[in-house]
Structure 1
Amino acid sequence: MSSAAPVGARPPAGKTFFGHPRALSTLFLTEMWERFSFYGMRAILVLYLTAAVADGGLAVGESTANAVYGTYNAMVYLMALPGGWVADRLIGARRSVLWGGVVIAVGHYVMAIPTGWSVFAGMALIVVGTGLLKPNISTMVGDLYERDSPRRDAGFSIFYMGINLGAFIAPLITGFLGEKINWHLGFGAAAIGMTFGVLQYVLGRRNLGEAGARPADPLLGADRRRALNRIAVATAVVAVVLIVLLLAGWFTVNTVVNLLTAVTVLVTIAYFARILTDREISDTERSRMKAYVWLFVFAASFWLIYDQAGSVLNIFAADRTDRNVGGFTFPASWLQSVNPILIIIGAPLAAWLWLKLGHRVSTPTKFAVGLVLNGLSFVLMAAAAQAAVGGDLVSPWWLVAVYAIQVAGELALSPVGLSATTKLAPVKYASQMLGLWFLATAVGDAIGGQVARLAESWSQPVYFLTFGLASVVLGLAAVMFTRQLRQLMAGIH
């Protein structure tokens, strides 16, 4: 991940944005529109893949569609690692965000082309673009403040409001256009949203000063040429593999999904092995990393369930819920707006609660709470699925309640995990550990996509109850081993 810019890389003084540097408004709107495009497309992706050809869809089986969705999410987070490296060593955060936004917009425009192949080509472009934009725009927000500025946390809070604002609005627009008019029109709306984000980013660049203007640790001369050559070779290898798969007749959606899932898991294992076997880190740092391995497993398990909101639960919303209100059947994807609005409401409450509790509740305990709540949401989902057995439509309030429980779990685990990542990181790997935290989501989504295949072959009540209880049991196990984990954390709460 990109590290903070050197002191003095502050934006120019002048007008402010809610008392913060004016540049925050530029980054806020860029992130808002990027999240609009991301969540807008994601809200209708599985519905489009599974829709009948007569309804404009691809008629892909639910199991394959769920796996595609999970793998796509995983790749987005996995690409944050090379995206941060490109900014750090080659072109800087500012240009990474710009080019990332352009590639994302192009990807959505490709998806708007009314052909079968466009969705997969578009997703590949969006993955690359998001890898460039997502980690580096957060770095630029940090560049707006001195490291110890009391306004820094408040600035990030405003920035994250942009994330959830975009995520809330997007499904309402893309969902209506996609489900009620034309799927590709919904994808086109996501493209227009990202275009707005790029345009205002370019127009607002004068507010940014030197923030993100240069690489934090640039490669020069022979080192730069060597790195570019390695990138070229890696790209060529990937191209050759794809060509071989194509010529051998193995280039199918399922083959690619399975390959990318394996890559995600193997990259994670290699990353942890590299850190844990590094002789330059101290025994205390190694102990803390051993604790972090368990926190990572807990987080990946959490996202495995949580991010099925856009796949398995989205299909349930389309097929098993009564969405008729006053004669109007609202799009199933509109329910994807529930999570972000609940996060907007709940985040300040969660922040207040953790501040009030202080060190009385440890990090492993907070993770355990997140896992238990996440599991209980699927137990409740099992009851909803049981009520829908026989073809009956259930109230959408079941899903609203499920999402409310999941959001409570997310607020217990996600921000706490981000904080724990920075505290447990070995000094040598401080800037890379945020990338490792992104990998927890990538692994959870990749494996979750494979697990979600079972939703088509198992009965839905059994599916939800099995994984719901598994998450609850894992959360209770985390509570039982809290003391051991705290010992490994060596003084970190």
Structure 2
Amino acid sequence: MSSSNKQKIVESVPQTGFFGHPKGLFTLFFTEFWERFSYYGMKAILVYYMYYEVSKGGLGIEEGTALAIVSIYGSLVYMSGVIGGWLADRVFGTSKAVFYGGIFIMFGHIALAFPGNFSMFIVSMVLIVIGTGLLKPNVSTVVGEMYSQEDTRRDSAFSIFYMGINLGGFLSPLVVGSLQKNYGFHWGFAAAAIGMFLGLVVFMVSKRSTLGLAGTYVPNPLTAAEKKKYGWMTAVVVIVLAIILGWTIPAGIFTLNVFINIVGIFGVVVPLAYFLIMYYSPKTSVQERSQVIAYIPLFIAAVMFWSIQEQGATILATYADKKTQLDLFGFEISPAWFQSLNPLFILLLAPVFAWLWVKLGNRQPIIPRKFSWGLIFAGLSFLVILIPGYFTPDGGLVNPIWLVLSYFIVVIGELLLSPVGLSATTKLAPQAFSAQTMSLWFLAPAAAQALNAQLVRFYSPATENVYFGTIGGVSIVLGLILFLIGPKIQTYMKGIK
């Protein structure tokens, strides 16, 4: 997108009206609130739905397999953002991508609401993967489009936007977890579908008056020849995949383990390919190439961070269900409620961080060092889980305060890394790859969860201490290295702070 078009977008957006920010931030705040309500509500009970016995309303899948499936599902959700970003950049723009994505997500949750149906479970996963890939990276891109590059409100805006994400994430496990506990899994999934429907309503009703031209431009539209070429390529890929799967699945060649390994490979190959494409593209300027190089270590740090953070919905969710005391003062809590801790702490701390960055202004830490502290806190959150093992007898249940503390520590790291990463991505993105670079940012948790699908195989009660200690220690070491090389990385950003 040209600089003149960027300026036209900024000028078209009402620049005040929502806590000193553009009115459009209100629209995107509540759109993302309801989308995250639906996503995190579903995710809070998904692993339980898979490994609970059929008599308890689950699918009866083996626990280790269920943990791997959730990780792979999470990886594909974020990986699909590459396609969503490409479609937004080259076909229909970010605003339409957000709307189409919401439609797919809503129908995905509706499919999950059919009781005890494994086929509908697969259908729902496919729909939600496609929908989130369209919506998630592009709604964040629209936020960035409302601000000029020099606007000091940008980091603060992403912190406020992040509060919308986490307000939905806080409420949904409480609502969905309670519905699942009292009425069954599928009432919980139905509530997630309603949440996405409300998000679509908010977006469609208010976007015209608040977003101006934001999300309407197609930065790098396809030519007529490219449309024909990519149409044929898509058709060929679909036909070939159908033939391969139609042969390998019945023959027992294409198994779940094979699929997990393939996704793991894609988790590395796809972001690597994107970095190479952006760097060597003739549409990328010399300055933008330098910024792409600076982005690489930030991406690697994000993969390590999200590998730990995303295990809150797998390993720590299982820990909450099976190793944590859930009967408190005569009241039995749902293990899904622990999924509300992460967004709750973000809601409490995000305003503090938003105020802090504005207060510090040009005196705030450089971006790489914010990332380094994020890694260190992520590592500490896993090391904390080691402590109750020394005070709890074998087979005993752990006081829930340890899980609370672990979630609290990782949130500090998240606020140092995630909203800052969103903002940095919009600043460092080459103009021809604006939405796709945001998709690349979401490939970090995709790669992390592809990695987690392999790591969860090593988790068991017997290996628990080694598991948490090793992963936590590696994160802290990487954080210290990033802190030391941070100033060098900053020079490659060419003035971006």
Work out whether the TM-score is over 0.5. Answer: yes
* Counterpart among 454, 460, 464 of residue 464 in structure 2: 460
1:490: how far off? 5.9
Report if aligned partners of 1:306, 1:374 keep a CA contact under 8 Å in 2.
Answer: yes
The letter of the residue matching 1:449 is A
Report if aligned partners of 1:386, 1:460 keep a CA contact under 8 Å in 2.
Answer: no
- Correspondence list, 1:15-414, <5 A: 17=18, 23-114=24-115, 115-144=117-146, 155-207=157-209, 208-213=211-216, 215-277=218-280, 286-354=289-357, 355-356=359-360, 358-359=362-363, 361-388=365-392, 390-414=394-418
Report if aligned partners of 2:9, 2:212 keep a CA contact under 8 Å in 1.
Answer: no
Note closer, same or farther for the CA distance 1:311–1:269 as it changes in structure 2 (3 Å cut).
Answer: same
Deviations 1:293-323 (A, max 9, x none): 2222121111111110011001101111112
**Take 1:360 and 1:38, find their aligned partners in 2: how far apart are those partners?**
33
| Structure 2 unaligned residues grouped into runs of 5+ | none
SS at match of 2:249: helix
Note closer, same or farther for the CA distance 1:357–1:377 as it changes in structure 2 (3 Å cut).
Answer: farther
The letter of the residue matching 2:66 is A
Note closer, same or farther for the CA distance 1:251–1:112 as it changes in structure 2 (3 Å cut).
Answer: farther
**Take 2:158 and 2:290, find their aligned partners in 1: how far apart are those partners?**
30
**Take 1:38 and 1:12, find their aligned partners in 2: how far apart are those partners?**
29
**Take 2:41 and 2:331, find their aligned partners in 1: how far apart are those partners?**
21
Report if aligned partners of 1:2, 1:93 keep a CA contact under 8 Å in 2.
Answer: no
**Take 2:23 and 2:482, find their aligned partners in 1: how far apart are those partners?**
43
**Take 1:32 and 1:173, find their aligned partners in 2: how far apart are those partners?**
14
Report if aligned partners of 1:103, 1:129 keep a CA contact under 8 Å in 2.
Answer: yes
The letter of the residue matching 1:456 is S
1:77: how far off? 1.5
- Greater CA deviation, 376-385 or 350-359? 350-359
**Take 1:103 and 1:357, find their aligned partners in 2: how far apart are those partners?**
40
**Take 1:64 and 1:139, find their aligned partners in 2: how far apart are those partners?**
35
Report if aligned partners of 1:62, 1:456 keep a CA contact under 8 Å in 2.
Answer: no
**Take 1:229 and 1:177, find their aligned partners in 2: how far apart are those partners?**
46
Report if aligned partners of 1:63, 1:456 keep a CA contact under 8 Å in 2.
Answer: no
Q: CA RMSD in A?
A: 3.1
Report if aligned partners of 1:343, 1:407 keep a CA contact under 8 Å in 2.
Answer: yes
SS at match of 1:113: coil
1:346: how far off? 1.2
What is the percent sequence identity of the aligned residues? 43
Deviations 1:63-117 (A, max 9, x none): 2222211222221221112112212322232322222111101001111111123
The letter of the residue matching 1:117 is S
**Take 1:251 and 1:458, find their aligned partners in 2: how far apart are those partners?**
31
The letter of the residue matching 2:126 is A
**Take 1:328 and 1:365, find their aligned partners in 2: how far apart are those partners?**
43
1:159: how far off? 3.2
**Take 2:186 and 2:356, find their aligned partners in 1: how far apart are those partners?**
43
SS at match of 2:385: helix
Note closer, same or farther for the CA distance 1:23–1:272 as it changes in structure 2 (3 Å cut).
Answer: closer
Q: Which residue of 2 aligns with 1:445?
A: 449
| Structure 1 unaligned residues grouped into runs of 5+ | none
1:125: how far off? 0.6
Report if aligned partners of 1:100, 1:130 keep a CA contact under 8 Å in 2.
Answer: yes
- How many residues in Structure 1 have an aligned counterpart in Structure 2? 493
**Take 1:2 and 1:61, find their aligned partners in 2: how far apart are those partners?**
52
**Take 1:212 and 1:50, find their aligned partners in 2: how far apart are those partners?**
41
